[in-house]
Structure 1
Amino acid sequence: MFRLNLTFVAVAWALLQAHLILISVTIPQAHAWPTPTKWLPHFKSQRPQRDYARRNLKTISSIYNLTVYPNQLPIFQAGGAGVPNGLFNKNVVGRVDPVGNFTDFEESVEYFFALSPLPQGNPAKAAITGYQITEFSSQCRDVAASVVYLYCSVVNPGCADHGKPLPPLKQVAFWRFDEHGAVLKYDAWIPNLNTWVESTTAANADDPQSRASAIAQICGATQTRCQGPNAQWSSVEECMTALSQKSYGSYDEAWGDNIVCRSIHVVLTQVRPDVHCPHVGPTGGGKCVDEPYPANYFSDKALYGQPTGETFMCD
């Protein structure tokens, strides 16, 4: 009986298999899912992801483009009001070695744009006439690092040297952006700035005649631009006598009670004389003053409001 039951089960199983095959052949699969040509991505990966690296690169590129002559002229004339929206946060702060710390919006835009050389404002007729961001990295939304070459040339239309290439400048920088992609904090460095100035202007800080010429230019401009409540000296002669007693300094160490620092800030007297005239005066106005080396270069917590080493790290 047991063997008969096993035989019956085997026959029944064979018939069931044949019936299933028949069903699969004769019933059309009208509602079957089509076989995809390739697997669809996971639903989450289909959400649009913002390209923060591209956004940050665009911001930096737009900033450097405005250092190219004559793109900076509207900002030079109008100050912060001439800066396009979205480039700098209104609370931006930063440092540029070896020029100084910049603790607000106006100071920051003055550095980037008002200090970009105007050909009519320097004996070499030098200007930044092009730029190239040669290195860039932004592995997170809020932080980027860059290296830019600022190409310079003579801008002197109608003269034989117009368009003559001059030595380029380099700037290495770290950037922090706000949630909209505007620069909130920066830490930048211009290597070999003193060599660039000397090779571009043919000035020699060790030459008494070059030193006297630089002092005369500073004093003449100061007397022209710093008048009334902004006056610093009673005469050009008084200014030249006083500044001749000060250290000349170096553009690789522009912080200090020296001539080099005043040559930078005298340019800015064209933009905000009430702010910058004291910087070229006898006391240095809190900017052109001697400070210990660490106070300038390592005041990260005071400048950025964060412990050293955290400002330009990805969160």
Structure 2
Amino acid sequence: MKLLSILSIGVATVAAVPNAPVLPRASNSSNATPNFGYAKLYRLQEAFYEKFMYPNNAKEAASINSTAFSEDVLGRVSDTRDFVGRELNTEYIFGLFIPTDSISIIGQPYSYEIMQFTANQNIASASTRVNFTFPSFGNISLPVTIDTWITWNEAEEITQYDVTFRWFAYLLQTLLLGLAPGNSTLAMERATMALASSVCNAHTSYCNGTNAQYESRDDCMQFLTQEIRFGQAFELGMNTLGCRSIHEIMLKYRPDVHCPHIGKSGGGMCDDTMGYVEKVTENFFKNSPWVPTMQ
């Protein structure tokens, strides 16, 4: 049952630089720095987005370990957290954006257009407009601009990516206010109850035995609606309901890994341990330099 239905029944080129230093190449053979050239990198960018579109993303998710990624891939999404390894990135990049029974702020991508693009050696930076449908919000369609930095290895696998959903706060506000136009308080109340209910239902279905995070459904609802905040758009990797809602969709893939993410501790994905300075200065990417080697 989708969100609108629930609510309706009252559920509260870098130029050559003389004498510039040559940056070191990664020692791992899977991260050796190839020199693909501009046209090849554009095709690799397109190939990734083709796989990201539904229903192609469902096929990638079903593979468990998508060969779009290297085994040691490192990924970061601006408003959430870091993702390490092929399996985790397959789940979150492909599995998160396919049809689900969950009530979710996540949409399903169906078309894209690369608006801005530049590339050198094995690095590409792009701004891409992706069109999504949002099933939990009456299947409304909205465009989303996604800014990406990506590196590939010699096998044409993504070794790391840094992603920003541009204007995500505006997108989230647009979705939520649509639940009660002109009444932001009521819209948040409705969103809170619907998302919390969905998370708790998923917990009941998937987080059993040693994976259980709450004593009961009432305990789950109490925590999610009263003891933590809904969260702002930049807090999808913090101690919020919004973060747990994102991770709920992953429960069906590996409950032992993902159940803690919706629990009270947040499982290292939904907590407040990373402050602003730590997030900005984090030295996460190690698979390849983000700056092309000077030649």
**TM bin (shorter chain):** 0.7 to 0.9
Alignment of 1:1-315 (within 5 A): 52-80=37-65, 83=66, 85=67, 87-118=68-99, 121-122=102-103, 126-138=107-119, 140-153=120-133, 166-200=141-175, 202-203=178-179, 206=185, 207-244=188-225, 245-290=227-272, 291-300=274-283, 303-305=284-286, 311-315=289-293
Separation in structure 2 between the aligned mates of residue 154 and residue 293 of structure 1, nearest angstrom: 30
Looking at structure 1, the residues matched to 199 and 114 of structure 2 have their Cα atoms a distance apart, in angstroms, of 33
Identity across matched positions, percent: 22
**Secondary structure of 2:73's aligned partner:** strand
Shift of 1:234: 2.3
Aligned to 1:15: none
Q: Would you say the 8 A contact 1:75–1:113 is kept in 2?
A: yes
**Do 1:147 and 1:170's aligned partners in 2 also have CA atoms closer than 8 Å?**
yes
Asked if the contact 2:97/2:106 (under 8 Å) is kept, the reply is no
TM-score (norm 1): 0.71
Does the CA-based 8 Å contact 1:93-1:304 persist in structure 2?
A: yes
Q: 1:289 aligns to what SS in structure 2?
A: coil
Considering Cα pairs closer than 8 Å and 6+ residues apart, tell me whether 1 or 2 has the greater RCO: 2
| Structure 1 residue 123, shift from structure 2 partner | 7.0
Instruction: Determine helix, strand or coil for the equivalent of 1:276.
Output: helix
Scaled by the length of structure 2, the TM-score of the pair is 0.76
Secondary structure class of the residue paired with 1:217 = helix
- 1:285 shift after superposition: 0.7
Number of equivalent positions: 250
State the distance in 2 between where 1:154 and 1:184 align: 29
Structure whose CA Rg is larger: 1
CA-CA distance at 1:62 after TM superposition: 1.8
Q: Please give the per-residue CA displacement for 1:169-213, whole angstroms capped at 9, x wherever unaligned.
A: 111011122123321111110022233234346357743232122
Q: What whole-Å deviation, never above 9, does each CA across 1:35-82 have from its counterpart, x for those lacking one? A: xxxxxxxxxxxxxxx8532222222222222222211222333421xx
- Assess, with a 3 A threshold, how the Cα gap between structure 1 residues 78 and 274 changes in structure 2: closer, same or farther: farther
Contact 1:223–1:233 (CA<8 Å) still a contact in 2? no
CA contact (8 A) 1:56 1:181 kept: no
Q: Given residue 184 of structure 1, which amino acid in structure 2 is its aligned partner?
A: T
